[in-house]
């Protein structure tokens, strides 16, 4: 396996060397919003090679890759937004002040970008250097940018120590891509090297460990990545078991119930949800349980099934107690009532939502 990882990283380096020798090959990494393949992970692998063997002459390559990632982000294609941030960070290491316009555009793609794309990127070439550069250029977005970062160097929203600390933090955050690799499995997952990941996953699961919080949620994420519901349930059980005193433990129970619904083990799901409801008076927790109970009624696909009847009874009790939950859940209750024969029609299955689950993609540094 070690040799496989070395061969993999050497493959990334070889691809980079080919691009260095012939930049026309960058066309193979271009993003096309209409194409089936976004080339998202291909660009990531080239960026990883550059991060580990960066040369000043790689600037135009990285700038091209970032421009393509920026376009990828605009069209919400499959992938991980951290790859955009990683590429932006590599570009920032070249200390080219004119990249501020690319960064500013990226920060203004949409609301999520405004929050997720660090403002420090805008000053990453140095605060003094950035303001000196801005004095020499005209750009339609210049005033808007200055309003955001501060009109003058003296009024800048960041200090140089803030930027320096941010750079150090980013190096630490992206250490998963630095050779030698600290965590080979996470690297394979992050780069979507599925074949090698599948070979290494069983070994990772079998390791003797105390199961840290980070490892627990990685296990859940890995199980989802490979599409193995039995592994997801195993991970969810561990999360529930190891977080018994966690104030958020009810969420983990509800998610475990959702997994049981997905796999058709609806009675186990019902038992979990009933226990959670009996142990709380929190409206939000009950609402989430009622949502899953509605799914049980629909999953059983029968108004006479015992679990469906018990679930509907529990739903009715909670509705009487709390009267209303949310527009979404209240509508679900109406649908379930119709399904149980209390009203006229049963809506088509497309009206029933799938289990709502939260997934953790990356935990390092977050």
Q: What is the pLDDT of residues 15-39, one digit of tens each?
A: 999 999 999 999 999 999 999 899 9
Q: Are residues 169 and 251 in the same domain?
A: no
pLDDT at position 357 over 70 = no
Residue 77 and residue 40 in contact, taking contact as beta carbons nearer than 8 Å: yes
Of 177, 192, 224, which closes a domain?
177
pTM of the model as a whole: 0.83
pLDDT attached to residue 340: 83
Q: Are residues 162 and 234 in the same domain?
A: no
Rounded-to-integer distance, Cα 9 and Cα 184, Å: 11
Which residue range is the domain that position 94 belongs to? 2-177
Mean pLDDT of 184-212: 95
Q: Which two tokens stand for residue 292?
A: 């899953």
Backbone angles phi, psi at 255, to 5 degrees: -65, -35
Whether 23 maps to a domain, the answer reads yes
Whether 362 maps to a domain, the answer reads no
Rounded-to-integer distance, Cα 192 and Cα 37, Å: 13
Residue 242 and residue 256 in contact, taking contact as beta carbons nearer than 8 Å: no
pLDDT attached to residue 27: 97
pLDDT attached to residue 92: 98
Whether 64 maps to a domain, the answer reads yes
Q: Are residues 156 and 100 in the same domain?
A: yes
Q: For tokens 């679930």, name the residue.
A: 311
Q: Are residues 165 and 264 in the same domain?
A: no
Whether 222 maps to a domain, the answer reads yes
CATH number, domain of 231, equals 1.25.40.10
Whether 201 maps to a domain, the answer reads no
The tally of domains found in the chain comes to 2
Q: Are residues 215 and 341 in the same domain?
A: yes
Q: Are residues 138 and 242 in the same domain?
A: no
Whether 304 maps to a domain, the answer reads yes
The radius of gyration of the chain's CA atoms, rounded to the nearest angstrom, is: 25
Q: Is 334 exposed, middle or buried (0-12, 13-18, 19+ CB in 10 A)?
A: middle
Residue 35 gets the label, from left (phi > 0), alpha (psi -120 to 50) or beta, of beta
Residue 298 and residue 273 in contact, taking contact as beta carbons nearer than 8 Å: no
What average pLDDT does the structure give for the chain? 90
pLDDT tens, residue by residue, 318-352? 999 999 999 999 999 999 998 887 543 334 444 44
Q: Are residues 133 and 227 in the same domain?
A: no
Mean pLDDT of 65-79: 92
Helices (H) and strands (E) in the chain, counts: 18, 0
Whether 203 maps to a domain, the answer reads no
Whether 358 maps to a domain, the answer reads no
Rounded-to-integer distance, Cα 363 and Cα 366, Å: 5
pLDDT tens, residue by residue, 253-266? 999 999 999 999 99
Q: Are residues 218 and 72 in the same domain?
A: no
Q: Are residues 136 and 282 in the same domain?
A: no
pLDDT at position 363 over 80 = no
Q: Any idea which of 6-10, 248-252, 287-291, 316-320 has the lowest mean pLDDT? A: 248-252
Q: Are residues 168 and 100 in the same domain?
A: yes
Q: Are residues 170 and 270 in the same domain?
A: no
pLDDT tens, residue by residue, 119-151? 999 999 999 999 999 999 999 999 999 999 999
Q: Are residues 99 and 217 in the same domain?
A: no
């Amino acid at each position: 396996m070690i040799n496989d990882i070395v061969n993999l990283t050497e493959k990334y380096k070889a691809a980079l060397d080919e691009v260095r020798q012939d930049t026309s090959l960058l066309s193979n990494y271009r993003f096309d919003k209409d194409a089936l393949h976004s080339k998202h992970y291909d660009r990531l692998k080239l960026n990883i090679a550059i991060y580990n063997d960066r040369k000043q002459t790689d600037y135009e390559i990285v700038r091209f890759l970032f421009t393509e990632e920026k376009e990828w982000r605009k069209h919400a294609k499959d992938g991980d937004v951290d790859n955009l941030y990683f590429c932006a960070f590599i570009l920032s290491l070249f200390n080219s002040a004119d990249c501020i316009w690319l960064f500013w555009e990226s920060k203004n793609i949409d609301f999520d970008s405004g929050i997720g794309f660090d403002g420090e990127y805008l000053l990453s070439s140095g605060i003094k250097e950035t303001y000196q550069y801005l004095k020499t250029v005209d750009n339609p977005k210049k005033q808007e940018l200055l309003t955001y970062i501060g009109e003058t160097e003296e009024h800048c929203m960041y200090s140089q120590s803030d930027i320096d600390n941010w750079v150090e933090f980013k190096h630490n955050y992206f250490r998963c891509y630095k050779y030698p690799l600290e965590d080979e499995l996470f690297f394979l997952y992050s780069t979507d090297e599925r074949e090698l990941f599948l070979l290494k996953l069983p070994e990772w699961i079998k390791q003797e460990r105390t199961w840290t919080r980070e490892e627990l949620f990685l296990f859940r994420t890995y199980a989802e990545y490979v599409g193995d519901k039995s592994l997801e349930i195993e991970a969810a059980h561990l999360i529930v078991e190891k977080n018994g005193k966690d104030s958020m433990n009810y969420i983990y129970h509800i998610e475990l119930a959702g997994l049981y619904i997905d796999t058709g083990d609806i009675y186990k799901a019902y038992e979990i949800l009933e226990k959670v409801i009996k142990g709380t008076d929190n409206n939000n927790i009950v609402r989430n349980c009622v949502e899953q109970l509605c799914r049980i009624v629909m999953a059983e696909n029968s108004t006479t099934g015992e679990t469906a009847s018990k679930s509907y009874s529990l739903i009715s009790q909670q509705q009487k107690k709390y009267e209303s939950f949310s527009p979404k859940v209240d509508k679900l209750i109406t649908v379930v009532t119709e399904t149980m024969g209390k009203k006229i029609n049963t809506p088509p299955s497309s009206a029933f939502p799938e289990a709502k689950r939260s997934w953790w993609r990356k935990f390092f540094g977050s």
